[in-house]
């Protein structure tokens, strides 16, 4: 069992997302460390991208703020090193494929291993393209975290095969964002059952989850829940004073 998989042993497992460098590097580091200290089990750091097809408006705006502050991939790796001096919480990246391609796959995963990043979620990575990355990722002990959507159907077995991190289960189609409970996909339970036929890796549900009740519900169905827009919205509303609000938010969910 990897450190990433071990993080899902809590009955109320929370994967907390924030955009790296939003609103600036120092504040971003502060938020990540605060979330870890408040009880987040895994931190997912978004690498800003110019054309984020899977991101809702809240996360898109966060990416723009990070770009305005001068963020780039090298600075994000430096950020991770600073975070690692303060917490050993498992870290994963969320990045679009082009960012890895531009950096160089082997160079990217080398940095992940050296800095202490356990996995990468790549929303626009197709199953057919995954083979190109897997060799480099495995050589550096970095998990490629697959996404399973309600439309994955008969391809689920191939998508989740050999997973060494966790499975990111998309709760509903479309872009990320805060959704009402009644909009959640009704067949999540069935999907988790199907996924578990082919892998022992934990399943975390994301997209549109933001309340304590939803996190509890997702932990009953799967092994964890991913919250993104809810945290990023707190940063957007009051970046200078967001830390205390983020801590309260995470603690309420983990209570």
The percent helix, strand, coil of the chain (3-state, each to 5) is: 50, 15, 35
Count, residues in the chain:
255
Calpha distance 245→220 (Å, rounded): 26
> In the numeric block, which tokens belong to residue 232?
């990023």
Q: Of 22, 41, 44, 236, which is the active-site residue?
A: 44
CA-CA distance, 183 to 242, in Å (whole number)? 28
Buried b (16+ CB within 10 A) or exposed e, 223-254: bbbbbbbbbbbbbbeebeebbebbbebbeebb
Handedness of CA 130, 174, 27, 87 (dihedral sign): negative
Q: Is 55 a catalytic residue?
A: yes
Angstrom distances, CA of residue 139 to CA of 59, 171, 209: 31, 31, 33
- Gyration radius of the chain over CA positions: 17
Task: Examine the residue annotation and report whether 238 is marked as an active-site residue of this protein.
Answer: no
Name the catalytic one among 22, 41, 55, 236: 55
Active site residues: 44, 55
């Amino acid at each position: 069992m990897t450190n990433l998989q071990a993080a899902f042993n809590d009955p109320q497992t929370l994967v907390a997302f924030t955009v790296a460098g939003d609103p600036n590097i120092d504040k971003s580091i502060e938020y990540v460390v605060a979330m870890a200290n408040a009880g987040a089990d895994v931190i997912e750091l978004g690498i800003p991208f110019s054309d984020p097809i899977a991101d809702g408006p809240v996360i898109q705006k966060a990416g723009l703020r990070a770009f305005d502050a001068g963020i780039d991939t090298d600075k994000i790796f430096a950020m991770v090193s600073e975070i690692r001096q303060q917490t050993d919480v498992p870290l994963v990246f969320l990045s679009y494929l082009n960012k890895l391609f531009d950096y160089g796959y082997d160079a990217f995963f080398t940095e992940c291993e050296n800095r202490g990043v356990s996995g990468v979620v790549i929303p626009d990575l197709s199953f057919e393209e995954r083979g190109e990355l897997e060799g480099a990722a495995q050589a550096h002990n970095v998990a490629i975290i697959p996404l399973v959507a309600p439309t994955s159907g008969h391809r689920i077995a191939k998508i989740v095969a050999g997973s060494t991190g966790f499975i990111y289960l998309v709760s509903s189609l479309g872009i990320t964002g805060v959704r009402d409970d009644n909009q959640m996909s009704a067949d999540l339970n069935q999907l988790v059952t199907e996924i578990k036929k082919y892998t022992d890796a934990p399943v975390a549900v994301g997209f549109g989850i933001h309340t304590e009740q939803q996190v509890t519900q997702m932990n009953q169905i799967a092994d964890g829940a991913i919250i993104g827009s809810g945290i990023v919205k707190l940063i957007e509303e009051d970046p200078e004073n967001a830390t205390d609000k983020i801590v309260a938010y995470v603690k309420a969910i983990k209570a």
